[in-house]
Amino acid sequence: MDRLQQLDLFAPAIAATGMYDVAVTPEVSEWLAAGAVCALGVSGGKDSQAMAIRLAEYLDQIGHKGPRVLIHSDLGVVEWKDSLPVCERLAKRLGWELVVLRRTAGDMMDRWEARWASSLERYASLSCVKIILPWSTPGMRFCTSELKTDLICRELTKRYPGQKILSATGVRHDESTARAKMPIASPQPKLCARGCQGMNWNPIAPWSTPSVYDYIAIKQETLHEAYTTYHSTRVSCAFCIMGSAGDLKASASCPDNTDIYRRMVCLEIVSTFALQGAKWLGDVAPHLLSAEEREGLADAKRRAALRVQIESRLPAHLLYTAGWPTCLPTQEEAHLIAEIRLAVAAAVGITVGYTTAGEVIARYQELMDTRHAKAKRPGSAKQHRISGD
């Protein structure tokens, strides 16, 4: 007896345990009874896939009468090629509309490259004291906020003005320590435009990882090729800033991902910033790189170490903090900043301004004057605090 036959045999007993229950709160139930919009965010991954199928059943069971829609934010060339087709198959199965959103200013890779270009401009003009990396980070996931949450919320409030909107995801507590703390439902301020009210809803948050796979098998739904062919444990960007070593290698083994792999490694090389802190994407599959790229990667690591060493000389009180810059450097400190800027520029291979102590002090004064002028404008949230400095 194969796994699917076993699941079919024990499905009634499994269902009786509540393993596949939909998690709700009293407020979610109240909104559903009132016909709230149900917008299900789908990525092509197993969790949103299981969530959508189970939630469609649940909404039918409770007699939900409100609008229902699947919504997918396409991150562009950084995505697995099978992600959108999985969402399309899911929409066809459920008979729901699939809304596909894309950032008009470019996809995720465009955003990282544009961020690096902006970082260079800011550093050259001494608008930041340390050079800024191009990548998203676990603590700064603009990849999620800008290319998913913001786009989805704008689209939903535009489509359903004046309505209550439940934005459902496949987030589960099993996935990480951070997600283990996420509530079943919470207010979503970005869904409050155009007279709307909105909540985030995580209807399968209590489900275990095995139960997700088992549920999809019971429903005889086809999983994303990342799982079935390349043995990845998750689906997001092909090379996610939070991906495990195993998942990054799985992605690199897919021929469809070779071009974006090389493009991302090239950004590591030119920026001297590894994708994952100290872990270089270029080390995942060096056989996919040209000899020139492998040499460039080795040199980037050398230049990165030099950059970090140089910037470590910056005094702590001159590093970025809210309201930076908060004080003028002394003549000695300004000389050090100028010296560091020249050394960083040489290490990274860029051209910068403000390379003398006098220029540095003048620029800091200019930045502080601008900040204070903005704070004194009527309606400024910082006016009282800064005027009392």
Q: Which residue has the higher pLDDT, 251 or 383?
A: 251
Residue 384 confidence (pLDDT): 37
pLDDT, tens only, 138-170: 888 888 888 899 999 999 999 999 999 999 999
Residue 121 confidence (pLDDT): 97
Of 146, 148, 71, 151, nearest to 111 by C-alpha is 146
pTM reported for the whole predicted model: 0.89
Q: Which residue has the higher pLDDT, 6 or 210?
A: 210
For the ranges 15-29, 212-226, 340-354, the lowest mean pLDDT is seen at 15-29
Beta-sheet pairing, 185-187 with 197-201: antiparallel
What are the φ/ψ torsions at residue 350 (nearest 5 degrees)? -130, 170
Q: Which residue has the higher pLDDT, 57 or 384?
A: 57
Segment 116-140 mean pLDDT: 95
Beta-sheet pairing, 68-73 with 37-41: parallel
Superfamily of chain region 3-227: HUPs (3.40.50.620)
pLDDT at 382 over 70: no
Residue 178 confidence (pLDDT): 85
Helix runs in 2-107, H state only: 3-16, 26-33, 46-61, 83-94
Residue 13 confidence (pLDDT): 41
For the ranges 9-13, 67-71, 217-221, 248-252, the lowest mean pLDDT is seen at 9-13
Residue 386 confidence (pLDDT): 33
Residue 18 confidence (pLDDT): 64
Residue 380 confidence (pLDDT): 56
Residue 138 confidence (pLDDT): 87
Segment 236-263 mean pLDDT: 97
Only one residue has tokens 């493009």, namely: 263
Q: Taking all residues of the chain, what is their mean pLDDT, rounded to a whole number?
A: 92
Segment 283-309 mean pLDDT: 98
Confidence band, pLDDT 50/70/90 cuts, at residue 2: low
Only one residue has tokens 């088992």, namely: 214
Tell me the residue type at 269.
Answer: I
Segment 127-135 mean pLDDT: 96
Residue 175 confidence (pLDDT): 86
Segment 98-119 mean pLDDT: 96
The SS3 of residue 145 is helix
Residue 274 confidence (pLDDT): 98
Question: Whole-angstrom Cα distance, residue 274 to residue 304?
Answer: 9
pLDDT at 271 over 90: yes
pLDDT, tens only, 162-221: 999 999 999 999 988 888 889 999 999 999 999 999 999 999 999 999 999 999 999 999
Would you list the domain boundaries of the chain? Answer: 3-227, 238-311, 316-369
Under a CB-based contact definition with an 8 Å cutoff, are residues 285 and 260 in contact?
Answer: no
Q: What percent of the chain has pLDDT over 70?
A: 93
